[in-house]
Amino acid sequence: MPAYLDNAATTRVCPEAARAALEVMTEGFGNPSSGHAAGRAAAARLAEDRAVVAQRLGCAAEELYFTSCGTEGDNWSIRAAMEFNKRRGRHIVVSAIEHSAVLEPVRALAAQGCEVTYLKPDKSGRIRCEDLQAALRPDTALVSLMLVNNELGTLQPVRQAAEAIRRSGCPALLHTDAVQAFLKVPFTPAELGADLLTVSGHKIRAPKGIGVQYVRRGLVPSPLLLGGGQEQGRRPGTEPTAQIAALAAACRAWDDSFPAHLSALKQYALETLAAVPGLEVVSAGDAPHICAVSLPGYPSEMLVRDLSDQGVSVSSGSACHKGKPSHVFAALGLPKRTLMGVLRISFSPENTRADVDALRDGLIQITKTRIAMR
């Protein structure tokens, strides 16, 4: 059996989610905005599914908006926050190791005249609270800090960021990309002090094409899109009820024991991969499902390709980089040989020790058949 260890990129859809999607596509397929019986039934199912997801996220149903993906949620959050605070400031604080779905819209705003402070991580891949506090200004309108880094698995100080914003008295709204954190680490938006929080379904065994945007009660975000009145008039477009049903089913199917299983499997991987000659641990990760290692002298893309030929799937970083060097790993200041050989390993509840053993054996085989670059 192939060993799929790239679950931070995407996950296999769980059977419960697939069945829910099929049911809604073939039976409960009405448009929730329609006034007839099929539409009313679809609207009732939509409300039920929204309540399920909100319960798992730990927020009120009316604080939850369905989107197409994490990228849309990040873009919406950033632009809505700056629009909300346009008379209070044009300064943004963001970590240098955010996902490109955060960094790219921030760069676009910088090109339009906003000032941006990029927080660099320490060598472990964590943002220092004192650096964040020092970056805040009276005109800071937005702080965006991911909860779990998607390449390192490190937890970032989001709750401390909220406290720093309150202490400073600046008007900043706090956004966190929680795509890699949802259901993996315990949190609620209120506990974090987040005003805006982004989640994606396909990281938790739901299909691609469905995301969730939390907006704190009382905050009225300007829409990213214009059109119909769906999602309280804030996210127009006919609701993708099949994907939403699948997301709710994936939330129901996520067992509270899964994070412990993921954590144990990651620990087994870190111990087992020590048998690979020359392998280094780049990040053990704080989240239970992500870690990063390096085989110095062996280019990451070659490692990914050779392992794939052996039936093992890992990545050289975020799937969104598409082969480009990772800005996240580069920000750690790693030696060049270490940086060139970085691999991200990420687990799902379906993974077993046999998958890890296959990865170990594959890497050992590469060291025996390939010559490391100096």
221 and 308 assigned to the same domain: no
**Using CB atoms within 10 A of its CB, is residue 270 exposed (0-12), middle (13-18) or buried (19+)?**
middle
Q: For strands 290-294 and 3-4, give the pairing.
A: unpaired
Last residue in a domain, options 253, 274, 298: 253
Last residue in a domain, options 220, 253, 286: 253
114 and 233 assigned to the same domain: yes
Weakly modelled stretches of the chain, pLDDT under 70: 317-325, 374
81 and 131 assigned to the same domain: yes
76 and 177 assigned to the same domain: yes
Q: Is residue 374 situated within a structural domain?
A: no
Q: Is residue 196 situated within a structural domain?
A: yes
**What CATH number is given to the structural domain containing 354?**
3.90.1150.10
pTM: 0.95
Distance of CA 263 to the CA centre of its chain: 18
**What CATH number is given to the structural domain containing 135?**
3.40.640.10
| Confidence (pLDDT) at 372 | 75
Q: Are 290 and 148 in contact (CB under 8 A)?
A: yes
| Confidence (pLDDT) at 230 | 86
| Confidence (pLDDT) at 370 | 87
Q: Is residue 42 situated within a structural domain?
A: yes
247 and 305 assigned to the same domain: no
Last residue in a domain, options 231, 253, 275: 253
Q: For strands 115-119 and 140-144, give the pairing.
A: unpaired
Whether 320 is a known active-site residue: answer yes
239 and 284 assigned to the same domain: no
| Confidence (pLDDT) at 179 | 98
Q: Domain range spanning residue 320?
A: 3-12+256-369
Distances (CA, A) of 33 to 72, 113, 248: 23, 40, 20
106 and 224 assigned to the same domain: yes
Number of domains in the chain: 2
136 and 285 assigned to the same domain: no
> Which position has the token pair 């069945």?
19
The one catalytic residue in 59, 69, 170, 320 is: 320
Q: Are 182 and 222 in contact (CB under 8 A)?
A: no
Q: Is residue 43 situated within a structural domain?
A: yes
98 and 54 assigned to the same domain: yes
Q: Is residue 356 situated within a structural domain?
A: yes
237 and 265 assigned to the same domain: no
Q: Is residue 153 situated within a structural domain?
A: yes
42 and 154 assigned to the same domain: yes
162 and 264 assigned to the same domain: no
